[in-house]
């Protein structure tokens, strides 16, 4: 009887939801070929089994044969229009980047372009036909478990991000994109991909406190959405819930969300100085952001409007890659230095307890009480 009471009590305890997969983006160096050993070492150092290639590379994909790594592929922006105009181009790309490896490599998703409306605004009408051609080509090849979508930049895709309840999708000038795309994602059980940088929104909106952008827990570090009655204590949740609200307004609230890029920049290398006027692009803040992000995702708490949380999060990026003009004066986003050593101690492995730590002492006391009966 005591055992039955104990099992009943456990069933009443709130449990954490599944932790989203935390992966990393890899961008090939400008002047050297990618090294499979280098990439494998980076994945092991970060303790992640989820990799997103900013531009697909068969040599990297081949190195992941018969491993547990899940792979997210990206079709470069310059190929979107050719694929839209001729489905054979999509088939050719798949025969080079997918067919020789799948399913021996766990390829999960393909993004057709990355922030394509920002890079090729005059070719926006090519995006949906390209996505459709890749999807149909996969089905013609008998591949049904790889989802197809495209990634957007948060600051250009979402209007009025705060309060999150007011957010809507911002259509490109002279185009109707989001409605047909969301219908496609719904019909194919695919996800909405978003590049989400609290750093960028913080710089655009001077009224946003730095502490909220960095997951810092201070008494006055919050913002309230008076429409929903939700209190937000970090900018990441604000931005995710703005996407969730925009999906709901469009009538597609069940479409899952994948954060295809996030991160916080450090200073450029080797000079050690950030880009002009970007004093907040420094290693200290980058470490605080990354530690806060990983802790928040591993908590299993999701966001106020998305209790199950986003499906996946990819951090940009694995290794330092100077964004300057060769002088080392740009930003560096890498989690690892270019030589492969760690900047900060991070563990992306999806380990979490099925019980909240706050409930464990209560469970122990109740169990002891039952055993003494």
> What is the domain partition of the chain in residue ranges?
17-352
- In angstroms, rounded to a whole number, what is the distance separating the alpha carbons of residues 304 and 308? 10
> Are 2 and 327 in contact, with CB atoms under 8 Å apart?
no
Q: How far apart are CA 338 and CA 320, in angstroms?
A: 5
Residue of 313, 320, 260, 257 lying closest to 286 (CA atoms): 320
Per-residue pLDDT of the chain (373 residues; tens, 9 = 90+): 343 233 333 334 444 456 889 999 998 776 666 678 889 999 999 999 999 999 999 999 999 999 999 999 999 999 999 999 999 999 999 999 999 999 999 999 999 999 999 999 999 999 999 999 999 999 999 999 999 999 999 999 999 888 999 999 999 888 899 999 999 999 999 999 999 999 999 999 888 899 999 999 887 788 889 999 999 999 999 999 999 999 999 999 999 999 999 999 988 654 444 555 578 999 999 999 999 999 999 998 999 999 999 999 999 999 987 544 333 445 789 999 988 899 988 899 875 433 333 343 443 444 444 444 5
* Full-model pTM: 0.87
The domain over range 17-352 is classified in CATH as 3.20.20.80: yes
Helical H runs in 263-352?
A: 283-298
The structure tokens 């008076």 sit at 226
Nearest of 177, 286, 303, 323 to residue 242 by alpha carbon: 303
Distance separating alpha carbons of residues 364 and 105, to the nearest angstrom: 43
What is the four-CA torsion angle of 197, 289, 302, 55, rounded to 10 degrees? 50
DSSP state of 264: -
**Three-state DSSP class for 11?**
helix
| Cis peptide bond upstream of 305, omega within 30 | no
| Helix or strand (DSSP H, E) at 195 | strand 192-195
């Amino acid at each position: 009887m005591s055992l039955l009471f104990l099992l009943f009590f456990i069933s009443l305890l709130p449990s954490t939801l599944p932790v989203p997969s935390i992966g990393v983006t890899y961008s090939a160096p400008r002047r050297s070929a990618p090294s499979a050993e280098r990439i494998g070492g980076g994945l092991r150092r970060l303790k992640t089994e989820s990799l997103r290639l900013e531009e697909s590379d068969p040599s990297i994909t081949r190195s992941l044969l018969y491993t547990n790594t899940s792979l997210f592929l990206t079709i470069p922006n310059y190929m979107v229009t050719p694929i839209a105009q001729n489905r054979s181009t999509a088939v050719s790309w798949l025969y080079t980047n997918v067919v020789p490896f799948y399913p021996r490599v766990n390829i999960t998703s393909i993004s057709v372009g990355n922030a394509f409306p920002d890079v090729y605004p005059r070719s926006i009408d090519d995006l949906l036909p390209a996505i459709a051609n890749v999807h149909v080509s996969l089905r013609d090849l008998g591949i049904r478990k790889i989802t197809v979508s495209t990634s957007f930049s948060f600051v250009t895709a979402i209007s009025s991000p705060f309060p999150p309840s007011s957010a809507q999708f911002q259509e490109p000038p002279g185009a109707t994109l989001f409605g047909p795309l969301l219908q496609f994602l719904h019909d194919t059980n695919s996800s909405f991909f978003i590049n989400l940088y609290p750093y960028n929104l913080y710089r655009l909106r001077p009224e946003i406190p730095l502490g909220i952008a960095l997951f810092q827990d201070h008494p006055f570090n919050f913002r309230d959405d008076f429409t929903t009655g939700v209190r937000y204590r970090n900018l990441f949740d604000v931005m995710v819930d703005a996407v969730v609200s925009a999906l709901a307004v469009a009538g597609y609230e069940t479409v899952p969300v994948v954060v295809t890029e996030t991160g916080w920049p450090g200073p450029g290398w080797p000079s050690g100085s950030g880009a002009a006027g970007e004093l907040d692009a420094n290693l200290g803040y980058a470490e605080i952001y990354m530690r806060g992000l990983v802790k928040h995702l591993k908590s299993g708490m999701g966001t106020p409007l998305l209790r199950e949380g986003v499906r996946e999060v990819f951090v940009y990026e694995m290794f330092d890659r100077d964004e300057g003009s060769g002088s080392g004066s740009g930003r560096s986003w890498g989690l690892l230095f270019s030589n492969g050593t760690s900047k900060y101690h991070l563990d992306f492995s999806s380990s979490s307890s099925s019980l909240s730590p706050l409930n464990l002492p209560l469970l122990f006391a109740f169990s002891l009480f039952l055993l003494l009966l």
